[in-house]
Amino acid sequence: MDDAGTNITGVLLAGGSARRMGGCDKCLLPLRSRPILDHIIAVARPQVSQLLINSNSEWGLFQRYDLPVLRDSIPGRRGPLAGVLAAMQWMDVQPAEAGCGRWLASFPTDSPFFPADLVQRLRKAADSEGADIAYAASRYGRSPLFALWSLDLKDAIEASLVAEDNRVSDFINSHRSVMVDFAADSYDPFFNINTVEDLRSARMIVEEFRPSAF
């Protein structure tokens, strides 16, 4: 963990239903020899002081990772904002010595190619711009789930979800936010796996551009 990750909590957003892949926990599908989630944890863990998993599946599926597993606190599968809220609520009740800090980094668990300096750059941008949210983008588009969130937004996120306003982009646009652009030379670093075809494409990216990392 570098200095930028000190007292930053990270949450792995695995709460989706993956309807386009038959309702499976797609982060547990294999990418090369290991589950997608293994690769994501390997890159996310050094960037934060502690790591959580948000999932509405059976807890036992993630037991081997030895990380706290949080279910959405608001019923009805309200999307990734509900996972961000669950992590913030967990942070809010931890003792001071736990070192949770006031920032939460979110990582979707269907995007295994994100940069190792993601949190560092998001934190730098948030501090520089006085923003409550910093989120990632590349020339392929915005990736608002790769984001750094101020814990001060907890009540606003809860109010938005209670009002059934679940769109992450709308929430970000209505608060002080800054977009951070990342290089995307040969492939999108925020490529996300939503379909079986996407999984094939991810495996091709690994073979062509990232064989040593996977």
How far apart, in whole angstroms, are the C-alpha atoms of residue 29 and residue 115?
21
| Cβ count within 10 A of residue 48 | 23
Residue 19 has pLDDT above 90, yes or no: no
Task: Report residue 22's pLDDT band, with 50, 70 and 90 as the boundaries.
Answer: low
Helices 80-92, 154-162: crossing angle, 10 deg rounding? 140
- The structure's pTM equals 0.92
pLDDT above 70 covers what percent of the chain?
93
**Which residue ranges form the domains of the chain, and what is each CATH number?**
3-209 (3.90.550.10)
DSSP letter at 88 equals H
Contacts of 191 by beta carbon, 8 Å cutoff, 6+ apart: 111, 113, 140, 198, 201, 202, 205
At residue 2, the pLDDT reads 47
Residue 39 has pLDDT above 80, yes or no: yes
At residue 24, the pLDDT reads 66
28, 37 Cβ separation under 8 angstroms: yes
**Of 30, 34, 25, residue with least CA distance to 57:** 25
| Mean pLDDT on 127-143 | 98
| Cβ count within 10 A of residue 64 | 9
How far apart, in whole angstroms, are the C-alpha atoms of residue 187 and residue 210?
11
pLDDT tens digits, 149-199: 999 999 999 999 998 888 999 999 999 999 999 999 899 999 999 999 999
Mean per-residue pLDDT over the chain, rounded: 91
pLDDT above 90 covers what percent of the chain?
78
The position carrying tokens 């606190």 is 73
Query: Exposed, middle or buried by CB within 10 Å (0-12, 13-18, 19+), for 173?
Result: exposed
